[in-house]
Structure 1
Amino acid sequence: MNFKGIHHVSAMTANAAKNYHFYTKVLGLRLIKKTVNQDDPSVYHLFYGDEEGNPGTELTFFEIPNLAQHREGVSSISALSLRVPTDKALDYWSDRFEKLAVKHRKTQTRAERQSLEFFDFEGQRFFLISDEQNIGVKGGVPWEKGPIPKEFAIIGLGPVQLTVRKPDSTIRLLTEVMGFRFKKDFPSTIAGQPVIHVFETGEGGSGAEIHLEERNDLPMQRLGRGGVHHVAFRVEDEDQLYDWIEKINEARFQHSGYIDRYYFKSLYFREPNGILFELATDGPGFATDEPLEHLGETLALPPFLEPKRNEIEKKLKPLDTAINHD
C-alpha cells in the first residue's frame, strides 16, 4: 500500500480569469476541467494539467472573489514545484519570466536539483525543477497546443513543501502510517533555520516527494489568495482507497470518509500540524464527461449538480476558455 506519488495540489485564487491567463498563456498548462467547487457550487474550480490531465500533473484552484491575501506561516503548504525536462529548460524559463515580468529568482541547486523559484500574479510560491537527473515517477505529456516548446514545457508536479512548527508528529505520520521513506536532508536558504527533510513514496523521484521544513520564527498561516489549500496523494483504485480508510481509522485520525468527486474518489484528513491531506484515486479521469480534445472548454458539472446547471451558471462570472481548433 504505497502511494504512487503526488496526485494533485489545490490552491486559492481571487480571480479566475487572470488565473486562467497566467497558467495557460504564461506557464503553458492545459485547462483540463472548468467546473465548480462541489462543496460550494457558486464558485469555480479550475483544473490544469498535461495533455490528458494525468494524475501527478494536476494543479487546481478554487476561486473566491475578494479573498484576502495569503499570509505566510506554519501549518502550511509553503511551496509547490513544477517539473521541466532539463537544466537547459530553466534558462528558457528564466528568459521568459524576464520578458513577461514574472517575479523570479536566480537558478539555484535545491535538494541536488537545478531549480528556479518564481511567484504567480497573486504571490503564490513555486519552484521549477529540472528532471535531468530524475529517477522515479515519470512526468506527463506537455500540451501540444500550448505556447511552450515541448522540450521546455512543464511535465508535472514536483515536490511539495510543508512548513510546520513541530515536525516530529508529521514525520511519524508520513513514515509509520503513510509509508513514506526518509531520503535525505538539504540546507535551508534562510540563515539559522534547520535543514529541510526529504521523504519519498512509491517509485520515488521528483513526482513523489514531500519536503518538510521546520520554522519557529513564523506565525500560523492565514490562508488566502496565493495560498495552497491541500495536497493529494495517488491511490491506485477504489479498493485501495477503502484499505487506506481502514488504516487511517486504525491510526485514529478523524477523516471525511469516502467521497465521490466523479473524476476521482477521495478521502480527506488533517495531519498533526493541521495541514489538509487528500488521498485520491487515479481514475476515472477527466475525459469521463468531455472528449479529450475539448477538455476544459465548457462548464462541466458532476451528475448530482447537473439539474442545477441554470442556477449555477447564473451565479458564475462568464469565463471564456474556448480553444480555436482550426
Structure 2
Amino acid sequence: MELKGIHHVSALTAKADENYHFYTNVLGLRLVKKSVSQEDSSVYHLFYGDRKGSPGTELTFIEYPLAPQNDEGTNSISAISLRVPNDQALVYWKQRFEKLKIAHEEIKNRAGRSTLAFKDFEGQRLILVSDEKNEGVQGGIPWEKSSIPKEYGIIGLGPVKLTVRDAELTAGLLTDVMGFRKKGQYSSESGSQPDILVFETGDGGTGAEIHLEKRTDLPLERPGRGSVHHVAFRVETEDELHEWTNRINVAKIENTGIIDRFYFHSLYFREPNGILFEISNDGPGFEVDEHINHLGETLSLPPFLEPKREQIEAKLKPLNTKAE
C-alpha cells in the first residue's frame, strides 16, 4: 500500500498537430500512442514518453480545438516537471530554447535541484529538473531515434506542483490517506506567500514528489488550453489498485471506482481543493496493441471503440505521426 511515484500527467491542448511537433521535434519525446479521449472520441488523446512509454515517463494531451486560453490561478496543477540526466543537460536545453525562441527562465535552484522553467506554444508551464543528485525513483530510457542527444534527453516526469487556496487540507490527504511523507520546503517565488512544501512517496526522489504551494493572492484558475487536467500516481498491480479503492472508500472520498483504460486501469477522485487525482497500475502498457518499433504511428482504439473506428476517424483531423 505504497504509491511508487508519478505515473503520468494529462494536460489540455487546442492543436494536436502543433502539440505533436513541439513534444517530439522540440523536446525529443516519443509519441507512444495516438488514440482518442474515451469520454469524447471526437478528439485526440496523445501519449508521449520514453522509448516505450514506461510508467513515470508519460505526458499526455487531450485535444479540445475550441478550448479558450488557460487563465492561471489556484486550485490547479500549476507546473509539470520533466527530468533530465544532469546539470549539464540544462545548459544544453537553455541554449536550445534560445535558438528556437522558446520562452524560458534562467537556470535556478528549486528544492535543492537545478531547474529550468519554460513554456510551450500554448503557455503550458513546464520545468526541466536535473537528476544529478537523484537517489530515488529511476528515470526511463530516451528513444534512440529522438532528435535530442541521449546524454541530454528527457528521462521522465519530475515533481508535480499543486497551487491551492487551502494547503492544510491537501497536505492532510497526501499524508494521512495517500501515504506521502513531508520531505522539506523551499521559498515561494511570489515573495509574499508561504514556503512551498515538498512531499514524497515510495523510494522518493525526482519522480515521486508533489510540491504544494499555498496562494491567497490569486483567483481560481479557469482551465483551458495550456492547463493540466490531472496527475496520476503509480501502483504496480491491479490488486494494489483494488486495495487503494478500498482505502479511498474508507476515507469516504467520492471516486469513480476502477476504470479500464485498456493500457492500464485507473481510479479517479478529487483532493479537497478540487484537483483531479488518479491512481493507475503499470500494465499492460502501450505494446499491447502495437509493436514497440511502431508505437504511435497509427490510430489506436480500445476494444470497446474499435467497432466505431470508421465513424471516429471521419471526425478527426488527419494527423501524420509515422516515423520518417
TM class, shorter-chain normalised? over 0.9
1:273 maps to 2:273: yes
Q: Secondary structure at the match of 1:168?
A: helix
2:31 matched residue in structure 1 = 31
1:152 counterpart letter in structure 2: Y
Residue 194 of structure 1 is matched in structure 2 by 194
Q: CA deviation at 1:258?
A: 0.9
Equivalent position of 1:132 in the other structure? 132
For 2:108, the equivalent position in structure 1 comes to 108
Instruction: Spell out, residue by residue over 1:173-212, the C-alpha distance to the aligned partner (whole angstroms, 9 max, x if none).
Output: 0000000000000011111111000000000000000000
CA distance in 2, matches of 1:311, 1:221: 35
Aligned equivalent of 2:168: 168
Structure 2 gaps, min length 5: none
Q: Aligned with 2:277: secondary structure?
A: strand
Distance apart, 1:272 and its partner CA? 0.4
Q: 1:226 matched to which residue of 2? A: 226
Percent identical residues? 65
Tell me what 2:122 maps to.
122
What SS does the aligned partner of 1:170 have?
helix
Distance 1:198 1:306 in 2: 43
Tell me the alpha carbon deviations over residues 51-102 of structure 1, each in whole angstroms, 9 at most, x when there is no partner: 0100000000000002100011111000010000010000000000000011
1:147 equivalent in structure 2: 147
Match of 2:302 in 1: 302
Residue number in structure 1 paired with 2:180: 180
Q: Which amino acid aligns with 2:28?
A: G
The superposition leaves residues 288-313 of structure 1 with CA deviations (integer Å, 9 ceiling, x where unpaired) of 00000100000000000000000000
Q: 1:152, 1:35 → 2: CA distance?
A: 28
| CA distance in structure 1 between the partners assigned to 2:222 and 2:301 by the alignment | 30
The residue type paired with residue 259 of structure 1 is I
- Unpaired segments of 5 or more residues in structure 1? none
| Secondary structure class of the residue paired with 2:59 | strand
What amino acid is aligned across from residue 153 of structure 2 in structure 1? A
Question: Alignment length, in residue pairs?
Answer: 324
SS of match in other structure, 1:320: coil
Q: Give a deviation string over 1:133-167, Cα, whole Å, max 9, x none.
A: 11100000001101000000000000000000001
| Deviation >4 Å, runs of 4+ | none
In 1: Cα distance, 2:316 partner to 2:189 partner: 42
In the alignment, the residues of structure 2 paired with residue 110 and residue 27 of structure 1 have an alpha-carbon distance, to the nearest angstrom, of 21
Q: Which amino acid counterpart does residue 91 of structure 1 have in structure 2? A: V
Aligned AA for 1:75? N
Distance (whole Å) between structure 1 residues aligned to residue 211 and residue 304 of structure 2 = 37
CA drift at 1:236: 1.3
Alignment root-mean-square deviation, CA: 0.4
Q: For the residues of structure 2 that align with 1:202 and 1:252, how far apart are their CA atoms?
A: 24
1:258 aligned counterpart, secondary structure: strand
Q: Which amino acid aligns with 1:67?
A: A
